[in-house]
Amino acid sequence: MPHDREPDQQETIDFLYAQRPCGRITTHASYVFLFSDYALKLKRALRYAYLDFSTPQRRLADCERELEINRRFTPRLYLGLRRITRLSDGGLRFDGEGELVDAVVEMRRFADADLFSRMVEDGRATPALVTKLAGVIVDSHQKAEVAPAGRGAEAFARVLALNESALHATAPVASARIEELAIRLRETLACHAALLDARRARGCVRRCHGDLTLRNICLLDGDPALFDALEFDEELATIDVLYDLAFPLMDLWRLGARDLANLLFNRYLDARDESDGLAMLPLFMATRAVVRAHVAAALGPERIGEAQAYFALAEDLIEPREPKLVALGGFSGSGKSTLSARLASELGPAPGARIHATDRIRKALHGVAATQKLPPDAYAPKVSARVYQLAREACAATLRAGHGCIAEAVFDRAEDRAAIEAVAQAAGVRFAGFWLDAPVEALARRIAARRDDPSDADEAVMRAQAARGHEDVRWKRLDAMGGVEAMAVEVMSGLKG
């Protein structure tokens, strides 16, 4: 709960209601008054361990900071600042010369249905939109100011301490569970302290959004937009970029959209290589769940069930999970990418397996977008050998970080299959290889139907693959005509055996 009882803001609230809003949203730190085409955001006059809005001057300063920070992310959404002042007759007005009573941030209004949290709940968040969102987050991190020299682990220890204090203050669960989880989180941090410090030294700690819950992402003019960035504490917002990414990953995981969480994770890493930080993602995601647990609990008894669900999620996310290397081979059009996307969220620590696909690696090697077509010389034997080598190196790095991965390629050469198996053996993790079988004519029909696909293989390429044969493949064969769900069940069954 807040450290101080919330002072009476009823006069300000009555004034804002007099402007005839059509609704109001209450968060743990703000009231948002909704009008037809704009919204006014009022800071609640309270003080937590991590913020202080207890005086009009503090609220005004925070509104000014919120406007400055959020215009970096979505300037179209943030219209300005309105001061609420007192008239000589004791009444209130906007932007007068009298005593400051309060302040509000004026924002462009968007439909509640366009919040990403709503879109995920309603099943309207498509893979294409999540791919766009990954690009928006990557762009925000590329532009974010790099933190000055310092200790990454020390800063994150402060985050854990604040969360633990807030959990005890709001008490969503028994204190013994809070203590147990806090110990687990501190132990995990201790294991990765040197890594966190090294990432800070190389510029991975930046002035990020800081509060990237799906409730702070909306669809604006057809594109994902980030808003309501954390403005009240520079230290809490100056974080490892993967800790920023962990918030939407955790939210998607919580809402049961684990395939979308894995997609966001993979498309982000395709564009911004943060592979050395993969070991910290379970810690980062669990910590984000803890944040939401104490924030929900602070909103009152009616939100305690939500708070408890977040806390249980944090407990689950921090549990160790065995990394595995799964390889999927098959001729072009056999459905390897579809099966990878279906399997990835179920493999290893959250948010699931990193997918290393040779089609995407080849495009990245040539510096082009995944769906941009390459010339024939990009598929010369020497280039392909390099692409397969890069895929193996990427798998090895992922496994070293304790994360699971999927290697996705044609794998029609025995030496390539043996080499990927050797990666798993060297890492000391379990390997499982699968070959997707389908009739050549069926593969031809699938290739003809492709649109905006990372693979450049046409029917002629596929038929050349088939002509070389695959009778020596000893990996478990899957019927690619039986559907992705049937194949996924067979793969997961094989991994349990």
Q: Is the pLDDT of residue 128 over 50?
A: yes
Domain definitions of the chain by residue range: 10-109, 116-317, 324-496
CATH superfamily of the domain spanning 116-317: Aminoglycoside phosphotransferase (APH), C-terminal lobe (3.90.1200.10)
Residue % of the chain over a pLDDT of 70: 98
Question: From CA 139, how far away is CA 225, in angstroms rounded?
Answer: 12
pLDDT of 3 > 90? The answer is: no
Distances (CA, A) of 38 to 42, 216, 321, 473: 13, 16, 46, 62
Q: What is the pLDDT of residue 367?
A: 95
CA dihedral sign, ordered 59, 62, 64, 70: negative
pLDDT at 5 over 60: no
Average pLDDT over residues 39-55: 88
Q: Which residues contact 188 (CB under 8 A, 6 or more apart)?
A: 282, 283, 318
| pTM assigned to the model | 0.93
Query: Residue 409: what are its φ and ψ, rounded to 5°?
Result: -160, 175
pLDDT confidence bin for 7, thresholds 50/70/90: low
pLDDT of residue 333: 94
Contacts with 190 (C-beta within 8 Å, 6 or more apart), sequence order? none
- What's the pLDDT tens digit per position in 227-242? 999 998 888 999 999 9
Are 402 and 349 contacting, i.e. CB atoms less than 8 angstroms apart?
Answer: yes
* Whether the domain at 116-317 and the domain at 324-496 fall into the same CATH topology: no
Closest alpha carbon to 480 in 435, 433, 417: 435
The reported pLDDT for the residue numbered 202 is 92
Is the pLDDT reported for residue 199 higher than 80? yes
Q: Which amino acid would we find at residue 69?
A: I
Model confidence pLDDT, tens digit, residues 362-419: 999 999 999 999 999 999 999 999 999 999 999 999 999 999 999 999 999 999 999 9
> What is the predicted pLDDT for the residue at 134?
98
116-122 LR contacts (CB < 8 Å, sep 24+):
116/214, 116/215, 116/217, 116/218, 116/219, 116/224, 116/248, 117/213, 117/214, 117/215, 117/217, 117/251, 117/255, 119/219, 120/214, 120/251, 120/252, 120/255, 120/257, 120/260, 121/255
The encoded tokens of residue 205 equal 């700690």
**What pLDDT band is residue 81 in, cutting at 50, 70 and 90?**
very high
Strand partners, 478: 436
Q: Mean pLDDT for the chain?
A: 94
Q: What's the pLDDT score for residue 468?
A: 84
Backbone angles phi, psi at 294, to 5 degrees: -75, -30
Residues 73 and 140 sit within 8 Å (Cβ to Cβ): yes
63 φ/ψ angles, rounded to the nearest 5 degrees: -60, -40
At 308-347, the pLDDT tens digits run: 999 999 999 999 999 999 999 999 999 999 999 999 999 9
**What CATH fold (topology level) applies to the domain 324-496?**
Rossmann fold (3.40.50)
pLDDT at 51: 79
pLDDT of residue 497: 60
pLDDT at 1: 44
pLDDT tier at 423, thresholds 50, 70, 90: very high
Kindly give the pairing relationship between strand 405-408 and strand 30-34.
unpaired
Give the mean pLDDT of 184-210.
95
Q: What would the pLDDT profile of 461-494 be if each residue is shown by its tens digit?
A: 999 998 887 778 999 999 999 999 999 999 999 8
Per-residue pLDDT for 196 more than 70?
Answer: yes
Q: Is the peptide bond before 351 cis (omega within 30 degrees of 0)?
A: yes
- Tokens found for residue 75: 């300037």
Is the pLDDT score of 94 beyond 60?
A: yes
